[in-house]
Structure 1
Amino acid sequence: MTHLHDPASPPADGLRGDPPPRHLRVHTHRNLRLASIAAIGFDMDHTLALYDPHVFEQLCFEMAVALLVEAKGYPENLREVAYDRTAVTRGLIVDRRLGNLVKVDAYGYVARVRHGGRLLSKVERREAYKRGRIRLSPNRYRVVDTLFDLPEGSLYSALVALKDGQPGLLRPSYKTLFDDIRDAIDTIHRDGSLKRRIMADLPRYFVRDPLLAPTLRRFREAGKKLFLLTNSEPDYTGAVMDYILGGEGADWDEFFDLVVCTARKPGFFLPKGKGERVPADTVPHLPNRRGHCFTGGDAFYLESKLGAIGDAILYFGDHTYGDILRSKKSVGWRTAMIVPEVEEEILAAEPLRGTLADLEEIEDSLEDLGLERDHLLSLPDHDPLVVQELQDRIQASLGRRAQLQKRIAAAYNPWWGSIFREGRAASRFGAQIRDVACVYTSRVSNLSRYPVQKFFSSTGERMPHE
């Protein structure tokens, strides 16, 4: 459940009126009329450029371990620690004081806690988080927000287990362990060592999407202005974009009216001034023959160059805060979030349709049984035997529900279940997508399965009483 799947059908399917496969659809929270969009922007990493998660995350993990050993004096046998991608998902909270990974629901209530290599029991969870909720504070907690954060969370979980299992081996506190890992991950991104490894073997680290170039062409042919807005530096941007869009009959930058590198999002969405033009043909693989590539600047300067502002701009990104929330709140852009986990979970759920239906039936039955029991208990002359019979049925249903929930969770992630839900409620991550993204989908090229002036209509939300 970690690889992106090849597109299952050509773009023409959606144009004939047939709905795209469920895992390749665009999902709508707020109505979006593409006909009213003048300009469409894209982040690069994890949005246009899709990393192979197995290979990329393994590289980040190994480079961070090497830095801990060589630069921070951690024991040599850390190199034997294996990367476990199931240990962490987006939306989790890292508790640096207690050494825990925590999943909360949309309201901040603690639902699952992993310490090292094991899940805490309900009693242990309540002991650790007595109020049942987590109120985020930067001194104690860090949120696993991005796909770049996954190797960091997995390494932290592994080192917590190692520290607990061999107390004399790792002496730093849980907080120091995390801070050292965070510094190592930051270093390999900041000093260019990670990007040099990737640029040396681009086919190893990226998955090319054959429908990406046709998708961008359709937008341009429909009169949309396109722009690339990335935090990556010009040399890395040029190399990656040349690989994923090269050989498409034109220099890759001809797909875009503007290219902004080293954008420093989310600060880019606050007033900072003009960007700095990248001189034409000065960066390998960054053709820029039209002189339309910039570094830095801000969203307001970008809007002036595009001739479009606010909700006439649609922006695609994968980062809840850095891409989606800031572009929406600060400058009023419409937002499309790229969430590869959607594709993974829908495909994983296909064999579970019967199980999911059974679970829904049990949930409804439990509600009815509970109401019936409570009504009987309210009667002064209730029969204790009848009440006990109802209680036994409730307990049996609870046991069956737990079995089904365990089976369903294992299909998604053996530790955390669905990234989007916790029980019958949305997870924190699921709620964030609901609150900040106008639409979301697993990859940009899914838009090729819809008419280019499509009106994406929300199904709407109902209050419980409606």
Structure 2
Amino acid sequence: MPEWSVSIECSEYHEESFTVTATMVLHTVKDEEEESLQEKVMKKKYYCKNNKKKKQPPFSDCDTFKFSDYDCIGFDLDNTICRYKVGEIMRLEYDLIANYMVNRYGYEPELLLPLDDDIDFLQKGLLLDIKRGNFLKCSPTGRILRATHGTRPMFDDDIVAVYGKERVWEPVIDFMRTLNDHPVNGKTPVLRSFKDYFDMPAAVAMARAVDAQDNTEGGPAEEYDIWPDVHVAMCNMYRREHFRKDEGGFFPEVRYHPEKYIYEASDRLKRWLKAVNEHTYTALISGSSIDYASHIARYVLGPDWREYFDIMICTAKKPGFFTMDRPFRCLVGPDDGDVVPTHKLRIDGTYSGGNWRDLQELIKQETGLDQPHCLYVGDHLAQDVLTPDKEGVDTVAIVEELAAEGMVGDRMEHDAGSDLMSTYWGSFFTTDGDKSVIGVDRINTLYGSVPLKHSRIAVPSLEVVARFPIRHQYEAFSQETSGFFPGDPVILHF
């Protein structure tokens, strides 16, 4: 004979009189265990309307931060929920780019040398002067701190000779406003940035190709036409249809050998994500296609991965997701289907494309709040941190360089720390900075300053915040406090 339990379900609610009409429902224990995602969302919706609508909890002070303050939390997937073994993933990416360039375009075979031979060249946040073949590391004011031509270091006199005594290149000033290097109005791009572990290896391929051309021609050229080939080789890896067709090299390798490239989430992180989902509405917002996103999410979180989030949005095309009005679309298998009108969006739905404004309207509808507090958590400092912050969305920055370079008061290490630390480019956070200044004020790099200006806190991974309950109070970035957690980068304090 089955066991039974009793629950009360709301069938009618009147806010003005605070009355509830209820019915008694019998469930088997098995029914409760198999409660659907939709039923969970409906319970959360009822909770929000009966609790948050009348009195929204007070928001934390500007110098403190709590995940529990938010009515909706969005998470990026790649390098946030899904933590890659970045050393292995970058080696895979470089090999695929180099082989494509040599075999398809006939570049010199020295491009096929192991990435490890130039691993010191890698750093997040480098900028490429496409025509000159120069790589630049800049300050938040646009001043060039260090530079190379190909892989060869440029001395101070070389930098001044090319970019002037102020060491400023005008396209960098334009780029700094949005960190978006895509050309507008059909103009030919002159600058390319390397913002994450999916495109950093392309910088090495470009630099080596510049070196090879210089060696062949006996010196630097006035102008290089290499980057378009590198860009095609890089994009070829990530073409959306390659996952289902087992083509392109990248997707088949990750698909059949995920343990080599991806970490499974710890049980502690899974419990933390479930606690967040039970407390507030959650969204998984990824630029990846649904088939790849589902594959890696299943590996990281398990077969029940979808239950960790209310709404799932794939192929989000950030940063445009936060700034534009692209429509949401339903999915037909792995392909985009028809446009879904805003009024038909469901908080437990799975969609492609879309935009933040429509998602926010959905959150307003579900919570009954005119101004819901929203947070986005991601690693891409342009797409996931700077852009949403400029659109009024609070952010948490995932900065793996914190673990790679070391943090004050915490022994956490990065498995690919040696791959992410460069003796030539210096620290991700400060290069040739004023050592008389202690703490975050010493940060003087363009990308190192983004979390400081555009996030509430910055952490090396979600595993760090999973050490604490969602109501834990953190110090946030402010004029008086540092939001690096669990500690400041070590280099800022010696």
State how far apart, in whole Å, the 2-side matches of 1:167 and 1:81 are. Answer: 24
Partner of residue 343 from structure 1, selected from 374, 390, 403: 403
Residue equivalent to 2:382: 321
Are the counterparts in 1 of residues 111 and 208 from structure 2 also a CA contact under 8 Å? no
Residue equivalent to 1:180: 229
Cα-to-partner distance string for 1:360-405 (whole Å, 9 max, x where unaligned): xxxxxxxxxxxxxxxxxxxxxxxxxxxxxxxxxxxxxxxxxxxxxx
Cα gap change, 1:259 to 1:183, in 2 (>3 Å) = same
TM-score w.r.t. structure 1 length?
0.71
Deviation at 1:172, TM superposition (A): 8.6
Deviation at 1:312, TM superposition (A): 1.0
Residue equivalent to 1:47: 80
Deviation at 1:46, TM superposition (A): 1.0
Considering only aligned residues, what root-mean-square deviation do their CA atoms show, in Å?
3.2
Deviation at 1:100, TM superposition (A): 1.5
Cα-to-partner distance string for 1:36-80 (whole Å, 9 max, x where unaligned): 201111111111111111211111111111211232232445323
Residue equivalent to 2:168: 133
Deviation at 1:233, TM superposition (A): 0.5
Cα gap change, 1:415 to 1:349, in 2 (>3 Å) = farther
State how far apart, in whole Å, the 2-side matches of 1:317 and 1:410 are. Answer: 21
State how far apart, in whole Å, the 2-side matches of 1:32 and 1:349 are. Answer: 20
Residue equivalent to 1:101: 135
State how far apart, in whole Å, the 2-side matches of 1:77 and 1:303 are. Answer: 50
- Superposed, 1:62-141 pairs within 5 Å as 62-80=95-113, 82-83=115-116, 84-130=118-164, 131-136=166-171, 139-141=189-191
Matched, 1:146 2:159: no
Deviation at 1:216, TM superposition (A): 0.2
Are the counterparts in 1 of residues 272 and 470 from structure 2 also a CA contact under 8 Å? no
TM-score w.r.t. structure 2 length?
0.67
Cα gap change, 1:171 to 1:123, in 2 (>3 Å) = closer
- Superposed, 1:379-390 pairs within 5 Å as none
Are the counterparts in 2 of residues 90 and 419 from structure 1 also a CA contact under 8 Å? yes
- Superposed, 1:363-382 pairs within 5 Å as none
State how far apart, in whole Å, the 2-side matches of 1:173 and 1:197 are. Answer: 39
State how far apart, in whole Å, the 2-side matches of 1:106 and 1:134 are. Answer: 13
Which amino acid in 1 is paired with 2:205? L
Are the counterparts in 1 of residues 401 and 420 from structure 2 also a CA contact under 8 Å? no
Residue equivalent to 1:446: 464
Specify which structure has the higher proportion of helix: 1
Cα-to-partner distance string for 1:20-39 (whole Å, 9 max, x where unaligned): xxxxxxxx995434332011
| Higher RCO (C-alpha 8 Å, min separation 6) | 1
Cα gap change, 1:277 to 1:265, in 2 (>3 Å) = same
Deviation at 1:101, TM superposition (A): 1.3
Which amino acid in 2 is paired with 1:313? C
State how far apart, in whole Å, the 1-side matches of 2:429 and 2:236 are. Answer: 31
Cα-to-partner distance string for 1:202-249 (whole Å, 9 max, x where unaligned): 11111223132122022124x1221100011110011000000116xx
- Superposed, 1:57-456 pairs within 5 Å as 57-80=90-113, 82-83=115-116, 84-130=118-164, 131-136=166-171, 139-167=189-217, 175-190=224-239, 192=242, 193=248, 194-210=250-266, 211-221=268-278, 223-246=279-302, 251-272=304-325, 274-278=327-331, 282=333, 292-306=349-363, 307=366, 312-330=373-391, 332-346=392-406, 412-422=421-431, 423-424=433-434, 425=442, 426-456=444-474
Cα gap change, 1:342 to 1:419, in 2 (>3 Å) = same
State how far apart, in whole Å, the 1-side matches of 2:146 and 2:282 are. Answer: 42
Deviation at 1:174, TM superposition (A): 5.5
Residue equivalent to 1:375: none
Are the counterparts in 2 of residues 101 and 114 from structure 1 also a CA contact under 8 Å? yes
State how far apart, in whole Å, the 1-side matches of 2:208 and 2:153 are. Answer: 13
